[in-house]
Amino acid sequence: MSIYLDHNATTPLAPEAARAMEPFGRDRFANPSGLYPEAVAARRAVSEARERLAACLGCRAEEVLFNGGATEGLNHALLATALARDGGHLVAGGVEHAAVRRPLEWLARRGFQVTFVRPQRTGLVTAEAVAAACRPETFLVALQAANNELGTVQPVAEVGTVARRCGALFLVDAVQALGKLPLDMPTSGADLLAVSAHKVGGPKGVGALVVRTGVELPAWLHGGGQEAGRRAGTENVAGAVGFAAAAEVAVANRETWHRRWTALRPELLELTRILADCRLNGHETLTLPNTVSLAFRGIDAVELTVRLGERGVCVSPGAACCAGERSEILAAIGLDEPAIAGTVRFSMGPDTALTELQRARSAVVEVCRALRRG
């Protein structure tokens, strides 16, 4: 069995989610839009999933819009909001995921003004820096709750206050926060909040965008009237059911997992003491407890990752979706080239064991020493 330390990339399907989804892959296949009893049951399954996910996020069921994942939700929130206007200004943190950066760059090419707020060396984007970037014409502020590569946790509630004061909508990318941080819709101050099932033990290709009551969000996918007419397409019934089941497990266990990860984290940080030229990227304390991003200067992180994979240790150089490419996040926090090229991210899951971390650590030490000798 390999040692899986890449939970920020994706997570194994939780048994609760697999069990909940199973009937919908077989006999419970009816289209929720139908009128016969099987279809009514499918519709009920989606609306129950919506209620259960809403309870996990502290919002109303009718505020939850199921979709195909957080990339879709973030694109929907940014592009549909912007394209309903003639122009204006958007503000985002300087270490946002590509699912926020790319649509903003697309908008900038079409004449919108976009400011990426410079992060601190740890990846922290302060409320003061966001406030300084806001202007009278700012109509949207986007901030991730926690960074997927660094683990750095952002001051979401404070930035929400800044956005409100500025009269802008506040979009929160809560993908890495769900099940890891005590974040919900009311405390975040979000008008729009994106989450993804596969980061919390749910299936891939399912997510949700929470749209606060009163926020006008134009439709994204046009077609049938599903998801209150804002996201057309036959519902992914199994996906919604699996997401709700997984989210419930993650939220119910959040504090227990948080304590476990906090206790285990030093096992990975120990590498900074064992190996010369190994440094922590990200924040010492304002961090996801399951995430450790380390820069191994003089080491090629892609080679290190591949060699670790051959030894059954699964980690990522930077983020999984950008494997092999230079990390824009690490560049944004001001790391120099050797640190960027040598950065590996370790991200633990609920079942990560102490012995696995110790074995992974030994493997890292051996491979790094071999690569430095070679």
Task: Tell me how long the chain is.
Answer: 374
Q: Looking at residues 247 to 286 of the shown chain, list those that interact with ligand PLP (rule: CB under 6 A).
A: none
By CB neighbour count within 10 A (0-12 exposed, 13-18 middle, 19+ buried), where does 203 fall? Answer: buried
Q: Which residue from 354, 342, 357 is spatially nearest to 268, judged by alpha carbons?
A: 357
Q: How far is CA 2 from CA 5, 13, 269, 290, in A?
A: 9, 16, 21, 18
Nearest distance from residue 238's CB to ligand PLP, in Å? 16
Contact present, 216 and 169 (Cβ < 8 Å): no
Position 207 contacts ligand PLP (CB under 6 A) = yes
Position 305 contacts ligand PLP (CB under 6 A) = no
Pick the binder of ligand PLP from 54, 70, 143, 208 (CB under 6 A): 70
Q: Looking at residues 85 to 104 of the shown chain, list those that interact with ligand PLP (rule: CB under 6 A).
A: 97, 99
Position 321 contacts ligand PLP (CB under 6 A) = yes
Nearest distance from residue 89's CB to ligand PLP, in Å? 22
Nearest distance from residue 329's CB to ligand PLP, in Å? 10
Position 69 contacts ligand PLP (CB under 6 A) = yes
Q: Which is nearer to ligand PLP, 194 or 275 (CB)?
A: 194
Q: Which is nearer to ligand PLP, 43 or 196 (CB)?
A: 196
Neighbours of 326 (CB within 10 A): 12
Contact present, 277 and 297 (Cβ < 8 Å): yes
Q: Looking at residues 338 to 357 of the shown chain, list those that interact with ligand PLP (rule: CB under 6 A).
A: none
Q: How far is CA 165 from CA 134, 170, 365, in A?
A: 10, 11, 50
Spatial separation of the C-alpha atoms in residues 170 and 162, rounded to whole Å: 9
Q: Which is nearer to ligand PLP, 122 or 144 (CB)?
A: 144
Q: Which is nearer to ligand PLP, 153 or 299 (CB)?
A: 153
Position 329 contacts ligand PLP (CB under 6 A) = no
Contact present, 3 and 364 (Cβ < 8 Å): no
Pick the binder of ligand PLP from 71, 138, 152, 343 (CB under 6 A): 71
Q: Looking at residues 111 to 150 of the shown chain, list those that interact with ligand PLP (rule: CB under 6 A).
A: 144, 148
Q: Which is nearer to ligand PLP, 193 or 308 (CB)?
A: 193
Q: Looking at residues 161 to 180 of the shown chain, list those that interact with ligand PLP (rule: CB under 6 A).
A: 173, 175-176
Helices and strands (DSSP H and E) totals, the chain = 14, 12
Nearest distance from residue 191's CB to ligand PLP, in Å? 17
Spatial separation of the C-alpha atoms in residues 298 and 364, rounded to whole Å: 14
Axis crossing angle, helix 237-269 with helix 354-373, rounded to the nearest 10: 60
Nearest distance from residue 74's CB to ligand PLP, in Å? 6
Nearest distance from residue 338's CB to ligand PLP, in Å? 25
Q: Which is nearer to ligand PLP, 114 or 197 (CB)?
A: 197
Axis crossing angle, helix 354-373 with helix 301-310, rounded to the nearest 10: 130
Nearest distance from residue 197's CB to ligand PLP, in Å? 7
Kind of pairing between the strands at 169-173 and 113-117:
unpaired
Size of the site for ligand PLP (CB under 6 A): 13
Q: Looking at residues 144 to 163 of the shown chain, list those that interact with ligand PLP (rule: CB under 6 A).
A: 144, 148
Q: Which is nearer to ligand PLP, 207 or 282 (CB)?
A: 207
- Does 166 qualify as catalytic in the annotation? no
First-last CA distance in the chain: 29
DSSP assignment of 247-286, as one string? HHHHHHHHHHHHHHHHHHHHHHHTHHHHSTTEEEES-SSS
Which residues, at least 6 apart from 108, have a Cβ–Cβ distance to it below 8 Å? 114
Catalytic residue among 59, 134, 314, 321: 321
Q: How far is CA 26 from CA 12, 43, 67, 238, in A?
A: 21, 16, 22, 10
Choose the binding region for ligand PLP from 59-67, 69-77, 161-169, 227-235 (rule: CB under 6 A). Answer: 69-77
By CB neighbour count within 10 A (0-12 exposed, 13-18 middle, 19+ buried), where does 246 fall? Answer: buried
Q: Which residues bind ligand PLP (CB under 6 A)?
A: 69-71, 97, 99, 144, 148, 173, 175-176, 196, 207, 321
> Catalytic residue numbers?
321
